[in-house]
Chains A and B, each alone.
Chain A
Amino acid sequence: MSLAESDRELVVEELGREPTPAEETLFENLWSEHCAYRSSRPLLSAFESGGEQVVIGPGDDAAVVSLPSYEETEEEIYITMGIESHNHPSYVDPFDGAATGVGGIVRDTLSMGAYPIALTDSLYFGEFDREHSKYLFEGVVEGISHYGNCIGVPTVGGSVDFHPDYEGNPLVNVSCVGLLAADRLVTAVAQQPGNKLVLVGNATGRDGLGGASFASEDLAEDAETEDRPAVQVGDPYAEKLLIEANECLVEEGLIESARDLGAAGLGGASSEMVAKGGLGAHIELERVHQREPNMIALEILLAESQERMCYEVDPENVERVREIAERFDLGCSVIGEVTDGNYVCTFEDETVVDVDAHFLGEGAPMNDLETAPGPEPDVDLPETDLETAFEAVVSSPNTASKRWVYRQYDHEVGVRTSVGPGDDAAVIAIRECGTGLAISAGAAPNWTAVAPEAGAQAVALENATNLAAKGATPLAAVDCLNGGNPEKPAVYGGFKGIVDGLAAMCERLSVPVVGGNVSLYNDSVSGPIPPTPTLAMVGTKAGYDAPPAAVEPAGTLLLVGDDALESGSFALGGSEYLARVGGSDRFPGLPDEPAAFVETLAAVADDESTLATHDVSHGGLAVSLAEMVTESAGLAVSLPEGVDPAGALFHEGTGRALVQTTDPEGVAEAFDGVAPVVELGEATGDGRLVIDAGDEQLAATAAEIGHFRSCIEAALE
């Protein structure tokens, strides 16, 4: 890849001369789709990113949100939220590609002055029964496990989906939450001419050259061999040292501004910092500590060697920064200083870059691309036997237990994990302010493949429902928008659909979308991926307890929010059921009062009469019921008379939950005028799920369900 001719003309016009080779490569990378969001930025204004809780919205390394306090605190407590994709690297080299994705998002957290406290991973692969999918899946999980465990940040949640259209292009979307007291906040906005720029961390080598532009084109057939040099190799030990060194630097107040070195390396980080401050810099590239001999200016400027941070430091604090770096065995070099002129890089006294930082960062023209609507699905429903369908859906890798995955992640380090992976949402104890922080992350490829816009709305509502099922009220979200080649109108139309859908539902739920990441060109010889809007949403509650998803042998089971069951008209489009047994249908409608539903569910979940709660979504009611049964507690439920059993059990309309309660009247009262409540049955003591559906009956023991749900473990152990 090289700088496009039209871009080059703009650069020549701005500079009044031909760019140097280093400048040309810098523009190529910083004006790439990956860095400049040229095809997506025109759409992103759809998102509402403000709110009184929002301290820093989109545009910095991570967003910053103020937490509500449920205890008296000395100062305000903030969290950071960030999300990043590492899709192409994870295809070429699943272990290192995924590992370095974790490293990048953690450093985005550090550069805001925060300490990382939780990670989530949303992973998307081709069909599970394909050997290549399994190879990528195992490698990615191992890479995340290796890196995340070693740096001591718990991986508390996420999602795993399999869909044939990820065959040639898997997705790895990692999000990180960090914690800080208000007075520790640092931003990427350079503050003052004369301050020094200090590079701390690993030495710079030739690894990861051109990663940003590699992420901005389709994956070629030979990508696994051809593009390996563009994938960086992670060193979690160095990252852990960087986390602790950063903690000391922040605690001692030594940092004026900070940015992680990610895409486009030192050139990207340093130019963006000074551009944000309306300033310039003079960087002497030969001062960068290097790992390899004879590196040229362009390599030093653009290498994406991992585990490096760029700090703006007051000259009088430079020595102390150096001491702290040395204590943690980290390299440290003073590479230059902030100026009020251009962004200038010299190498052994020769000027290799001399451009306006703002032009470099913001000058890329936006693409005005065509969109085309996707086809409306036909209605073509299969004839299936209920028992066969139940087994097929409950034993699908998409709805199956992900224990094989999260058992490999340290999800408890930090001793804050009150509810870990495997439930609707994780709950993290923020003892600093008595706040339970619930986290849910994921998307639903089946939904957005059928209906990008409505499917994305459903994704947003489903994540909010996950939080509410654990008693938390949504606070904020970050998104990772993954799409195919935007130059194809139908692909770009689908991408626009997921943007608009997420934006619309988040606005209805009053959840500001405070940051995100866009990954386009997820296209390969096997075609584009389904448009995939991974959302990581957090919510809060008083205290850290939450009702479990598993039932106790007591009380009544209620289904709340199932408008389709109420009307008897089901839409099965996007369901796991149709994915398994074949056929197509319209995508389900969305509830009228999603915000009131979420708020009411959160309140009901925390009521003392509530014994268990579980979101109903992927796989429909059938899967949610199956997941609630244990060896010691079962469920005996009946579907309302006359309804179509397959529709009732397998439709994936969102904004629904199962509530097991000792006070069904109280729950019905709470949802009065908000959402329908249907009494499905009773909990039993025999560990069996029994569903009466008209003339038919479905029955399965906890052991049988456990067997169906363990298909991932069974295939990989």
Chain B
Amino acid sequence: MGTVTVSIVRFGGSNCDRDAEAALSHLGIDAEIVWHEDGLPAETTGVVLPGGFSYGDYLRAGAMAARSPILDEVREAAADGVPVLGVCNGAQVGCESGLTEGVFTTNRSARFQCEPVYLRVERADTPWTAAYEEGEVIEVPIAHGEGRYEITDERLEELESSGRVLFRYCDADGEVSEAANPNGSKHNVAGVLGEYETVAVLMPHPERATLPDVGGTDGQGILRGFAD
């Protein structure tokens, strides 16, 4: 058992909570699944908003979970410097709750897509990317029907100029192109930082690219953001 305990917030309909726990545990990071109604444990040193279909995505992906009381606690923890990572549905919750800007909406294909993608690491000086080089290309899978990043031109410019775009979809050579954009995200944005560098959301699944026995390990560096 490490001294760090990361809380993985389970809503009804979360389905990547156990996967996140398995991946963190593989990295030697202590983590536990927390039922949203039970609130964040006092000793929480990190928060994962996991993937899935919270509340069945019935209103809008992530919208219901974003309004549940535990998100107030998550926002407070984030303001206190506790690292918060939203993955897939958790990224949608992050945006809906105001932890991060923009929205993730229906893919350009209008279909669910489960496939590996390449990501270019835009900044290597955040807790989530310290394991990588700036401009490094990593392979991490996506699995979403609503992952197209949308934001106003003004706000995107502000995010870009303040270095809050963390990952972009690219090809194997690191070229950020329309052809390498799986879902039509604006400027190929796959993940962004919040107001603090310790808050990040992304659509691809780092927990699926962590366990060596089921494929690549390129996602490990992102989860290591909880280790320090």
Contacts and interface: CB of A to CB of B under 8 A. Distances in A.
Contacts of B57: 150
A409 interface: yes
Interface stretch (A13-21, A410-418, A561-569): A410-418
B173 to A, nearest CB: 14
A415 B211 contact: yes
Contact of B214 (A406, A408, A415, A717): A415
Interface in B192-227: 205, 207-208, 210-211, 213-215
Interface in B4-25: 12-13, 15-16, 18-19, 22-23
Contacts of A36: none
A703 to B, nearest CB: 15
B126 interface: no
A152 B15 contact: yes
B91 to A, nearest CB: 16
Contacts of A431: 213
A543 B22 CA distance: 18
A237 B55 contact: yes
Given A408-B113, A412-B143, A415-B19, A544 B213 contact: yes
Chain A interface size, under 10 / 10 to 19 / 20 to 34 / 35 or more:
20 to 34
A544 B19 contact: no
Report which residue of A406, A414, A417 has the largest number of chain B beta carbons within 10 angstroms of its beta carbon.
Answer: A414
Contacts of B55: 237
A411 B143 CA distance: 9
Contacts of B211: 415
A409 B210 CA distance: 21
Contacts of A329: 12
A543 B215 CA distance: 13
A413 B19 contact: yes
B13 A408 contact: no
Interface in B62-117: 109, 111-115
A132 B28 CA distance: 53
A231 interface: no
Contact of A240 (B15, B23, B115, B207): B15
Contacts of B51: 413
Contact of B53 (A236, A327, A416, A544): A236
A576 interface: no
Contacts of B22: 415
A429 B16 contact: no
Given A150-B53, A408-B112, A415-B19, A241 B214 contact: no
B214 A418 contact: yes
A417 B213 CA distance: 9
Contacts of A415: 19, 22-23, 207-208, 210-211, 214
B19 to A, nearest CB: 5
A149 interface: yes
B114 A410 contact: yes
B41 interface: no
A87 B114 CA distance: 26
Report which residue of A237, A241, A328, A417 has the largest number of chain B beta carbons within 10 angstroms of its beta carbon.
Answer: A237
A150 B55 CA distance: 10
A429 B212 CA distance: 11
Contacts of A146: 112
B191 interface: no
Contacts of A409: 112, 114
Interface in A141-189: 142, 145-146, 149-152
Contact of B12 (A328, A410, A418): A328
Q: What is the predominant secondary structure among interface residues of chain B facing chain A?
A: mixed
B61 to A, nearest CB: 11
A715 to B, nearest CB: 14
Given A150-B56, A407-B113, A240 B12 contact: yes
Contacts of A284: none
Contact of A407 (B18, B23, B114): B114
B52 interface: yes
A235 interface: yes
Nearest to A152: B15
B214 A429 contact: yes
A329 B210 CA distance: 33
Interface in A183-216: none
B46 interface: no
B15 A416 contact: no
A140 to B, nearest CB: 14
A236 B143 contact: no
Contacts of A145: 111-112
Nearest to A716: B111
B147 interface: no
Contact of B52 (A152, A235, A416, A418): A152
A149 B56 CA distance: 11
Contact of A413 (B109, B143, B210): B143
Contacts of B23: 415
A544 B214 contact: yes
B111 A413 contact: no
Given A328-B12, A415-B214, A410 B112 contact: yes
B12 A241 contact: yes
B184 interface: no
A237 B213 contact: no
B38 to A, nearest CB: 10
Given A151-B15, A414-B19, A415-B207, A407 B56 contact: no
Nearest to B21: A415
A240 B215 contact: no
B113 A417 contact: no
A237 B143 contact: no
Nearest to B55: A237
Given A412-B143, A418-B215, A150 B208 contact: no
Report which residue of A146, A240, A413 has the largest number of chain B beta carbons within 10 angstroms of its beta carbon.
Answer: A413
Interface string B13-51: 101101100110000000000010100000000000001
Contacts of B208: 412, 415
Given A408-B111, A413-B143, A237 B12 contact: yes
Nearest to A544: B213
A410 B214 contact: no
B141 interface: yes
Nearest to B17: A152
B13 A412 contact: no
Interface string A227-242: 0000000011100110
Given A145-B112, A240-B15, A241-B12, A418 B213 contact: yes
Contacts of A410: 112, 114, 143
B213 A149 contact: no
Interface of A: 142, 145-146, 149-152, 235-237, 240-241, 244, 327-329, 406-418, 429, 431, 543-544, 717
6 contacts: A145-B112, A410-B112, A412-B143, A412-B205, A413-B51, A414-B19
Interface of B: 12-13, 15-16, 18-19, 22-23, 35, 37, 51-53, 55-58, 109, 111-115, 141, 143, 145, 205, 207-208, 210-211, 213-215
Given A409-B114, A413-B16, 5 more contacts: A142-B111, A152-B52, A237-B58, A415-B208, A544-B213
Give the top 5 A-B pairs by smallest Cβ distance, nearest first: A152-B15, A237-B56, A150-B53, A415-B19, A410-B143
